[in-house]
Structure 1
């Protein structure tokens, strides 16, 4: 499937920042709708139809957090001019009418916005990924990460040492309701595919010669009722000739 690529991103994707690279984010910027919305949503619909088990996951006990995420998302979209929110459905910027299905909360969330979401809840001393909508994985696989704490989720990221792990856990503990945070990452890929899963044991290689820059704007948001932390992932893909260096 040929996907429309972005021409720009709303931050300097190539700027070097020290891990974990977290900064405050205005609440109104939590959800983005960009020029690739229609194309990305079409790809999400395809994945949800053909590979739902690969892109949606929920563990026992995560139902309340998933429902609260949907409610929070609907509240945010209600304030936008490009979505029409009704009691039983949402009309999206690309003209699709998405039913609000409370019996299938994760699929409803996945069909509304470009952003992927990983829900993390405190289990003992660590936050654990208890549910996720992950249509656009960047070299990882949801089945290997769901139900695991942060330290195991980041295997095999070489930079994620014990010091970074402690700092990230403190960060998750410190996220305040109404004060989301954000960071970015960036990698070169040889193809523009948004669905790019990879198992933990697959060979890793630097793709510096790739023709496509893939960057994620990652957000962290605390849900007020369940206190779950929502890790959001908005993916941008640019052709090399469109990247300002």
Structure 2
């Protein structure tokens, strides 16, 4: 009887081990469909993303970007190279903004996410890159659940997503619930002109006065058609740059608007006039950090946008930045000033800045 029990115990143990090995192999097979870990550009060669194992999201303030400068207005691409480790950023706004993303997906799905047929492979590639980066950079916040390499766990929102086909939800929707940036995929030749880049897929939580349902499928030049001087000054150079971009290039540019509320999801154009001038307490600087890179497998351009909204009054104790901001506002040509909404908020901003800086109103 004792021998039978021992044999049974051994068989049971072997069965458990065999089952574990089988599950592990299935997980590894599923994970093999993911892109390899990101090893991004470095002048000395490829380098691995350094993990921030003790990064505290709640204690991290949004980056204090100052995307303006004093002096003469200049219409340029304004791009700069970005270290690989600074691609996706996290801060204390992560949890509330992810809550907004989920609400928008539930209530305004088509208004925040559009995926044109033919862009699915690029969406999968984006998800793979986002997962690879986040699990390397923040391994204590984004990781594969035990024995499930085909899933990712987001500790900040306590969500688990399947990250290989067949997907439970579209890959772009998953990527949008992992990163803080809005995600845009620009495909060359996705429309009538093979030389143009077209918006083929997008998750946009923070449109600055436009509706994604209208813009999806537009070429780059049409997307920027409302921007004064863009076609004359930038269209040709931007398209040329896009066609020359390599997969290991990572660049950023910055843009800003001024608005009179805290709304991130701004689908309708900004007001050209208000019943009465806004109060300085209502003035917000809307800053966009835009990063661009070419997807190595599909060749599409990945255009990410992180939007920050900051009260202008935050510059009260930073006179150098405030002076540069005022100079930038004053230097706008009339058509750019109208596009940026200066007739709405300009007088309020001018008076307050002059008061704080103890300078005369121009």
- Other-structure match for 1:135: 205
The alignment status of 1:46 with 2:103, answered yes or no, reads yes
- Among 295, 301, 305, the residue aligned to 1:223: 295
- Other-structure match for 2:143: 85
CA distance in 2, matches of 1:170, 1:120: 14
Confirm or deny: 8 A CA contact 1:56 1:132 kept in the other structure: yes
- Other-structure match for 1:28: 85
**Matched residue of 2:230: which SS?**
coil
Shift of 1:58: 0.8
* TM-score, normalised relative to structure 2: 0.61
Confirm or deny: 8 A CA contact 1:129 1:145 kept in the other structure: yes
CA RMSD of aligned residues (A): 2.4
- Among 229, 236, 240, the residue aligned to 1:170: 240
Shift of 1:156: 1.1
The alignment status of 1:236 with 2:308, answered yes or no, reads yes
Aligned length: 239
CA distance in 2, matches of 1:37, 1:90: 17
Return the structure number with greater strand share: 1
CA distance in 2, matches of 1:8, 1:75: 23
* TM-score, normalised relative to structure 1: 0.88
- Other-structure match for 2:69: 15
- Other-structure match for 2:160: 98
- Other-structure match for 1:108: 174
CA distance in 1, matches of 2:296, 2:160: 26
Shift of 1:159: 2.9
- Other-structure match for 1:149: 219
**Matched residue of 1:231: which SS?**
strand
For structure 1, the residue ranges without an aligned partner over 5 or more in a row are 1-5
Q: Which has the larger radius of gyration?
A: 2
Confirm or deny: 8 A CA contact 1:8 1:242 kept in the other structure: no
CA distance in 1, matches of 2:175, 2:116: 16
Shift of 1:90: 2.9
